[in-house]
Amino acid sequence: MKNFNLETSLVQSLEEFQEGEPRVYPLVQSTTYNYKDPDFVAGLFDLTESGYFYSRIGNPTVQAFENKIAKLEGGVGAVAVASGQAATTTAILNICNSGDHIVACSTIYGGTFTLLSSSLKKIGIEISFFNPDSSEDEILSFFKENTKAIFAESIGNPGLNVLDFEKISSVAKKGGVPFIVDNTIATPYLCRPIEHGANIVIHSTTKYIDGQGSCVGGIVVDAGNFDWNNGKFPSMVDPDPSYHGMSYYETFKEAAYIVKARVHILRDFGATLSAFNAFIYLRGLETLHVRMDRHCENALKVAEFLEGHENVLWVNYPKLKSGKYYDLAEKYLPKGGSGMVLFGIKGGAKGGKEFTKKLKWINNVVHLGDVRTCVLHPGSTTHRQLSDEEQIAAGVMPEAIRLNVGIENIDDIIADIEQALK
C-alpha cells in the first residue's frame, strides 16, 4: 500500500485485490470456515497458524474493517467489537485484573463513567477521576502501585473539552502505564491520538464512522508503542496457561496487546462485531472526510450564531475563539472541532425542554455523529433521574442543550434553531 494522504486511504480500500475480485470488499456472512487438515486446525487453536476458524474471534469482513481503522489511526492492529462500551471494556480488561486501579478524566461520556465507576468497580477494579484542567502533578498524585492505565477522550462528550495530549502522555510515561484515548468524537480524520503519545485508541464506531445511524459497534486500536515488560503487566509477559504457557510479549512482540485482546478477551467475553456491521462501516469510512468537513463547517456556524443570541447563556464548541479549549483545539484539531455543540439556554431545565419541543424538524434523538441534525436536552432525558446538583457534578448543567449538527443546508439548520429560540 502506497503512503497515501488520509483522504485517499479512506476512499481506496486497503485490502490487496487479485485480478477480477469484487470492487467492494465482500460481506462474508459465515460463522465458520472449511478445512481438510485437522493438524492445521489444531495449529489455529495454538496460534501457530493464522487463518479464520470461527467468527467470534475473526471474520474476513470484520478484519478488513479492523485493518482499515488500524491503518488510519497509525496502529499495528485493531480488534472490532460489538459497541463502544465493549471497546472500553476490552481495552481495560485486557490489562487490568481485580485489585488493579485506573485513572480517568472526569468529563468522559456518561456510559463510560458508569462502566468505570460502577461495573468495573464491582469486579474489583478501582478508579480515580481527575479534572482535565488539573496539573501534571495533581494527576500523578492519583497514581498508586497498582495503577494500570490512564483514560481520556480526545474531545469530551458532552462537555467538548479538548484533551491536552502532551500533559497526559507525560503523566502516563511517568506513571509507567498506557495512555488510552477514546477518539470517537474526533475520528481519525480530525485527530490521530497515536501521533500525540497515545498507546491505545478506542472508538464507538456507532457515531461518525458509521455516520448513518444504522449500526452499533466499537473498535480497539493498538499503537504497538508501549513496553509491557516494565514489571507492571505480568499477564502480558508471563505464560498464559489457556494457551499452553505461551507469552504474548515474547511471541507477538509489539502486537502483544492487540493479539491478547482478540485471542483472550474476545474469545472469552465474546462481544464480537457482526460482519454485516463491519460491511456497513467500510461503506461509511469512504465518505468520512467529506462528512466531517461539513459537520465541522456547519457546527462552527451554529456555534457562532448561538454565541450572538440573546436567549443563549453560553456556548461550548472547540473552535470558538472565545472558548477555554481554543488553543488546544488549534493544536490538536487543525481541520475542525467535529459536529457537536453544547449550549446553555435561558430558562434553566424548563427552558431547555421547551426549546427541544419547539424545534420543527430537528428531532430529539439520543445519538450523535449521524448526518442528520438532532438535539438532546440531557436534563430531561439522559440525566433526568439526577437532581440539579447531581447534574452539575456530572458536568451537565440543567440548561444545557446538546446539538449534533448534521450535514444539511446550514440556513435550514439555523432557521429551525432561531424560531425555536424565539
Ligand X SMILES: *Cc1c(COP(=O)(O)O)cnc(C)c1O
Q: Contact with ligand X (CB under 6 A): which of 184, 199, 382, 404?
A: 184
Sequence letter at residue 406: G
Q: Which is nearer to ligand X, 125 or 163 (CB)?
A: 163
- Smallest gap from residue 116 Cβ to ligand X (A): 11
User: Is 394 among the residues that bind ligand X (CB under 6 A)?
Assistant: no
- Smallest gap from residue 203 Cβ to ligand X (A): 8
Q: How far is CA 39 from the centre of its chain?
A: 39
Q: Quick check: 248 and 240 in contact, CB under 8 A?
A: yes
DSSP secondary structure letter of residue 361: S
**If DSSP codes are grouped into helix, strand and coil, which group holds residue 140?**
helix
Q: Contact with ligand X (CB under 6 A): which of 9, 13, 63, 85?
A: 85
User: Is 318 among the residues that bind ligand X (CB under 6 A)?
Assistant: no
Look up residue 354 and give its three cell numbers.
Answer: 421547551
- Smallest gap from residue 328 Cβ to ligand X (A): 17
d(C-alpha 155, C-alpha 151), whole Å:
12
DSSP strand pairing (363-364 vs 374-376): parallel
- Smallest gap from residue 366 Cβ to ligand X (A): 10
d(C-alpha 55, C-alpha 27), whole Å:
13
- Smallest gap from residue 110 Cβ to ligand X (A): 9
DSSP secondary structure letter of residue 54: B
- Smallest gap from residue 89 Cβ to ligand X (A): 10
CA dihedral 313, 344, 129, 174 (to 10 degrees): -60
Q: By rule CB under 6 A, what count of residues binds ligand X?
A: 16
Q: Which is nearer to ligand X, 83 or 169 (CB)?
A: 83
Q: Quick check: 81 and 93 in contact, CB under 8 A?
A: no
Which one of the spans 4-12, 37-45, 82-90, 135-143 is the region binding ligand X (CB under 6 A)?
82-90
d(C-alpha 214, C-alpha 111), whole Å:
19
User: Is 83 among the residues that bind ligand X (CB under 6 A)?
Assistant: yes
- Smallest gap from residue 121 Cβ to ligand X (A): 18
Q: Which is nearer to ligand X, 169 or 187 (CB)?
A: 187
Q: Contact with ligand X (CB under 6 A): which of 100, 153, 210, 222?
A: 153
Q: Contact with ligand X (CB under 6 A): which of 58, 60, 84, 197?
A: 84
User: Positive or negative CA dihedral for 107, 180, 367, 410?
Assistant: positive
Q: Contact with ligand X (CB under 6 A): which of 41, 57, 216, 414?
A: 216
Q: Contact with ligand X (CB under 6 A): which of 25, 65, 109, 143?
A: 109
User: Is 110 among the residues that bind ligand X (CB under 6 A)?
Assistant: no
312 has which bridge partners? 345
Residues 332-361 that bind ligand X (CB under 6 A): none
Report cis status (omega within 30 of 0) of the bond before 239.
Answer: no
- Smallest gap from residue 45 Cβ to ligand X (A): 30
Which one of the spans 46-54, 130-138, 177-185, 377-385 is the region binding ligand X (CB under 6 A)?
177-185
Q: Which is nearer to ligand X, 161 or 184 (CB)?
A: 184
User: Is 218 among the residues that bind ligand X (CB under 6 A)?
Assistant: yes
User: Is 295 among the residues that bind ligand X (CB under 6 A)?
Assistant: no
d(C-alpha 76, C-alpha 303), whole Å:
37
- Smallest gap from residue 330 Cβ to ligand X (A): 21
d(C-alpha 190, C-alpha 192), whole Å:
7
Q: Contact with ligand X (CB under 6 A): which of 90, 94, 199, 206?
A: 206
Look up residue 298 and give its three cell numbers.
Answer: 456547519
Sequence letter at residue 333: L
- Smallest gap from residue 36 Cβ to ligand X (A): 39
Position with the least CB separation from ligand X: 84
Q: Quick check: 363 and 374 in contact, CB under 8 A?
A: yes
d(C-alpha 311, C-alpha 316), whole Å:
15
Q: State the residue for C-alpha cell 440539579.
A: 388
User: Is 164 among the residues that bind ligand X (CB under 6 A)?
Assistant: no
User: Is 213 among the residues that bind ligand X (CB under 6 A)?
Assistant: no
H helix intervals, 154-286:
165-175, 187-190, 234-237, 248-252, 256-260, 267-269, 275-285
Q: Contact with ligand X (CB under 6 A): which of 106, 112, 199, 316?
A: 112
Strands (E) across 11-125 are located at 77-81, 101-105
Residues that bind ligand X (CB under 6 A): 83-85, 109, 111-112, 153, 157, 182, 184-185, 204, 206-207, 216, 218
